[in-house]
């Protein structure tokens, strides 16, 4: 087993996340700070491993000469690389549970990583197997098809691990879906799916299947538990008793929403109010765009606690929100004048392009942010305050103030709220 300096949510299968401060200490997440999300034990694939590619759609056959690919064959395709976030849909679930209890592993804010991956493009490999989007479009078939990724791993809720993407999403020319054999410029490790995993930028981590053994084209979605009965956004009124009925009808979750989270200071940190004339608190965190749209800004404010009570438009659906402190802090922050917000400095990593170019380009990696937030507006005897942050993207979209509470606690993307305390000299 690994010698992990992470918060372990379960030993077997291994589920663990680094501390928020360790997470944002590097632009590219080092192995020691890369979270682990497993629904079953790691898989040992045979040394004569080969990836199977097939179709079970009548009238759509793959080329029998190209239905199986060894690692050596995959390495001969043009090598593509990208920096992308891989985020578990349950990231920040703990925060949603403060509003009302959710089901599932209680992830903090570190169930995501920002890594450099390299491998063959799914598009190139499928094309060699005879599956091309242009041909399927001509036949009017493309929109009915799904690409399935499977691993014969015995999981907690199913006899294999599988996921599927609509074919159009999997072959989208703007979204490079990789058959990755390298991570952070080194061979992919067993923990993260060696010898081969799918990496789908912008999409919840659950679809980036590790220990990938089979790709199949089908005219329906994956039947796997993790596609059909998990990773869906339940309506606020769903209960443990009614959820199965809802799950049958709801679409699978794919795209990850625009998001940001303050990682440093940590929750309930005690901050010194220095005697300097303009004391500040240093804030650091991550922001992630949706659908590859780059982050344009992150704003941070400091709100003295307690906040006055605001009527909540969300309480009709989830009454518990009316008196929930994080929610009330968000509502209050939304009433602050623009001068109350500090625009954070952004770090897109070493290769980011600037200005206009950036607005046009897709960006799958995260944007780290940092800010020095003045304490001056705070009453001198304040003992508690909340740091609040939200991100905007290059299309002018603003991160949602409040994600609708859902029983499975997925796709949490509310404004970030972190409570801090002040040390007072007695």
Query: Would you state the structure tokens that stand for residue 6, as one six-digit string?
Result: 């992470």
Q: How far is CA 155 from the centre of its chain?
A: 21
Cα separation of 104 and 101, whole Å? 10
* Least distance between Mo ion and beta carbon 87 (Å): 8
| β pairing state of 161-166 and 146-151 | antiparallel
Measured from the CB atom, the residue of 129 and 204 that comes closer to ligand MTE is 204
- Pick the closest to residue 422 from 341, 304, 310 (CA basis): 304
Q: From residue 48, how far is each of 45, 71, 72, 195 by CA, in Å?
A: 8, 9, 11, 11
What does the angle CA 412 – CA 414 – CA 416 come to, to the nearest 5 degrees?
110
The residue range among 83-91, 114-122, 262-270, 286-294 that interacts with Mo ion, by the rule CB under 5 A, is 83-91
For residue 211, the partner it binds in ligand MTE, Mo ion, none, with Cβ less than 5 to 8 A by kind, is ligand MTE
* Least distance between Mo ion and beta carbon 295 (Å): 22
Binding characters for ligand MTE, 90-129, by CB under 6 A (x = yes): -----------------------x----------------
38-67 residues in contact with ligand MTE (CB under 6 A) are 38-40
- Pick the closest to residue 358 from 297, 294, 286, 288 (CA basis): 294
Contact between residue 371 and residue 297 where contact means Cβ atoms under 8 Å apart: no
The residue range among 16-24, 118-126, 137-145, 205-213 that interacts with Mo ion, by the rule CB under 5 A, is 205-213
Per-residue HEC secondary structure of 61-110 comes to CCCHHHCEEEHHHHHCCCCEEEEEEEECCCCCHHHHHHHCCCCCCCCCCC
For residue 192, the partner it binds in Mo ion, ligand MTE, none, with Cβ less than 5 to 8 A by kind, is ligand MTE
In the list 95, 123, 192, 299, the residue contacting ligand MTE (rule: CB under 6 A) is 192
To which H or E segment does residue 5 belong?
A: none
Q: Hunting for tokens 């603003």 — which residue is that?
A: 398
In the list 16, 20, 37, 300, the residue contacting Mo ion (rule: CB under 5 A) is 37
Q: Does 35 bind ligand MTE (CB under 6 A)?
A: yes
Q: How many residues bind ligand MTE (CB under 6 A)?
A: 20
Q: Write the DSSP symbol of residue 364.
A: -
- Nearest residue to ligand MTE, using CB? 205
Cα separation of 6 and 29, whole Å? 13
The residue range among 33-41, 78-86, 269-277, 387-395 that interacts with Mo ion, by the rule CB under 5 A, is 33-41
Q: Does 366 bind ligand MTE (CB under 6 A)?
A: no
The residue range among 209-217, 335-343, 354-362, 403-411 that interacts with ligand MTE, by the rule CB under 6 A, is 209-217
Residue 25: which residues within 8 A CB-CB, separation 6 or more?
Answer: 33
Query: Would you state the structure tokens that stand for residue 203, as one six-digit string?
Result: 């999409």
For residue 408, the partner it binds in ligand MTE, Mo ion, none, with Cβ less than 5 to 8 A by kind, is none
Q: Does 88 bind Mo ion (CB under 5 A)?
A: yes
Measured from the CB atom, the residue of 36 and 148 that comes closer to ligand MTE is 36
Q: Does 200 bind Mo ion (CB under 5 A)?
A: no
Measured from the CB atom, the residue of 49 and 422 that comes closer to ligand MTE is 49
**Residue 146, phi then psi, degrees to nearest 5:** -130, 145
Q: Does 203 bind ligand MTE (CB under 6 A)?
A: no
- Hey, is 401 helix, strand or coil? coil
- Per CB under 5 A, residues contacting Mo ion are 37, 88, 205-206
- Per CB under 6 A, residues contacting ligand MTE are 34-40, 86, 88, 113, 151, 153, 161, 192, 205-206, 208-211
């Amino acid at each position: 087993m690994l010698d992990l300096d992470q918060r372990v949510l379960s030993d077997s299968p291994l589920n663990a996340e680094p501390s928020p401060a360790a997470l944002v200490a590097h632009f590219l997440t080092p192995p020691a700070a890369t979270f682990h999300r497993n629904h079953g034990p790691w898989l040992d694939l045979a040394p004569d491993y080969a990836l199977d590619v097939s179709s079970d759609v009548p009238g759509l056959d793959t080329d029998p000469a190209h239905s199986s690919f060894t690692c050596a064959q995959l390495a001969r395709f043009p090598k593509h690389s990208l920096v992308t976030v891989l985020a578990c849909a349950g990231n920040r679930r703990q925060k949603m549970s403060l509003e009302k209890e959710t089901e599932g592993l209680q992830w903090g804010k570190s169930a995501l990583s920002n890594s450099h991956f390299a491998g063959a493009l799914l598009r190139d490999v499928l094309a060699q197997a005879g599956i091309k989007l242009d041909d399927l479009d001509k036949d009017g078939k493309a929109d009915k098809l799904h690409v399935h990724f499977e691993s014969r791993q015995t999981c907690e809720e199913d006899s294999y691990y599988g996921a599927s993407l609509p074919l159009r999403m999997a072959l989208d020319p703007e979204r490079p879906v990789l058959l990755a054999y390298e991570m952070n410029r080194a061979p992919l490790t067993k923990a993260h799916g060696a010898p081969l995993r799918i990496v789908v930028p912008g999409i919840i981590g659950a679809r980036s299947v590790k220990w990938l053994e089979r790709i199949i084209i089908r005219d329906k979605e994956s039947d796997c538990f993790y596609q059909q009965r998990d990773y869906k956004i339940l309506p606020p009124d769903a209960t443990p008793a009614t959820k199965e009925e809802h799950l049958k009808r709801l679409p699978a979750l794919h795209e990850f929403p625009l998001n940001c989270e303050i990682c440093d200071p940590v929750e309930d940190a005690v901050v010194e109010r220095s005697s300097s004339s303009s004391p500040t608190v240093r804030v650091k965190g991550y922001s992630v765009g949706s659908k590859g749209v780059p982050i344009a800004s992150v704003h941070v404010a400091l709100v003295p606690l307690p906040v006055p009570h605001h009527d909540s438009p969300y309480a009709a659906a989830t009454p518990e929100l009316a008196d929930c402190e994080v929610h009330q802090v968000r509502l209050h922050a939304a009433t602050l004048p623009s001068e109350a917000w500090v625009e954070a400095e952004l770090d897109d990593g070493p290769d980011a392009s600037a200005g206009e170019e950036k607005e046009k380009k897709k960006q799958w990696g995260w944007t780290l942010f940092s800010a020095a937030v003045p304490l001056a507006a705070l009453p001198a005897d304040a003992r508690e305050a909340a740091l609040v942050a939200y991100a905007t993207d290059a299309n002018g979209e603003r991160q949602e103030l409040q994600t609708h509470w859902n029983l499975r606690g997925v796709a949490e993307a509310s404004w970030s709220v972190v409570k801090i305390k002040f040390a007072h000299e007695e």
